[in-house]
Amino acid sequence: MSLLDIADLTIGIPRGRATPLVIVENASLRLQPGEMLGLIGESGSGKTMLCRSLIGTLRRRGAAILSGRITLAGTDLAHTDEHAWRDIRGRRVGYVPQSALAGPNPVMTIAAQLREAILQGTPGTDVPARARELLDLVQIRRPERVLDQYPHQLSGGMRQRVMIACAIAGTPELLVADEPTTGLDVTVQAGIMQLLRDIRARLGTAIILVSHDLALVDDVCDRILVMHAGACVESVPANAAPRHPYTIALNRSRIELAEPGAPLLTIAGQPPSVGDWPPGCRFAARCSIAQPDCGLGPHPPLRGEAHANACLHPERAA
Q: How much is the pLDDT for 32?
A: 96
Residue 190 structural domain:
4-316
**Which phi and psi (to 5°) does residue 90 adopt?**
90, -25
Q: What is the pLDDT of residues 123-182, one digit of tens each?
A: 888 999 999 999 999 999 899 999 999 999 999 889 999 999 999 999 999 999 998 887
CATH code of the domain in which 50 resides:
3.40.50.300
> b/e map of 101-133 (b: 16 or more CB within 10 Å)?
bebbeeeebbbebbbebbbbbbeebebeebbbe
CA atoms 236, 239, 245, 250: torsion sign? positive
Q: Rounded to an integer, what distance in angstroms lies between the CA atom of residue 162 and that of residue 113?
A: 9
CB 40 within 8 Å of CB 226: yes
The pLDDT of residue 277 is above 80? yes
Who's near 71: CB < 8 A, 6+ residues apart?
A: 4, 5, 6, 77
pTM of the model: 0.93
Q: What is the pLDDT of residues 51-71, one digit of tens each?
A: 999 999 999 989 999 999 999
CB 78 within 8 Å of CB 11: no
3-state secondary structure the chain: CCCEEEEEEEEEEEECCEEEEEEEEEEEEEECCCCEEEEECCCCCCHHHHHHHHHCCHHHHCCEEEEEEEEECCEECCCCCHHHHCCCECCCEEEECCECCCCCCCCCCHHHHHHHHHHHHCCCCCHHHHHHHHHHHCCCCCHHHHHCCCHHHCCHHHHHHHHHHHHCCCCCCEEEEECCCECCCHHHHHHHHHHHHHHHHHHCCEEEEECCCHHHHHHHCCEEEEEECCEEEEEEECCCCCCCHHHHHHHHCCHHHCCCCCCCCCCCCCCCCCCCCCCCCCCHHHCCCCCHHHHCCCCCCCECCCCEECCCCHHHCC
- Average predicted confidence (pLDDT) for the chain: 91
Q: Rounded to an integer, what distance in angstroms lies between the CA atom of residue 134 and that of residue 37?
A: 24
Domain count, the chain: 1
Q: What is the pLDDT of residues 98-130, one digit of tens each?
A: 776 667 899 999 999 999 999 987 888 899 999
Confidence of residue 318 (pLDDT cuts 50, 70, 90): low
Length of the chain: 318
Q: What percent of the chain lies above the pLDDT cut of 70?
A: 99
Q: Rounded to an integer, what distance in angstroms lies between the CA atom of residue 33 and that of residue 4?
A: 8
The pLDDT of residue 183 is above 90? no
Confidence of residue 313 (pLDDT cuts 50, 70, 90): very high
Going by C-alpha positions, the residue among 36, 264, 252 that lies closest to residue 244 is 252
Confidence of residue 189 (pLDDT cuts 50, 70, 90): confident
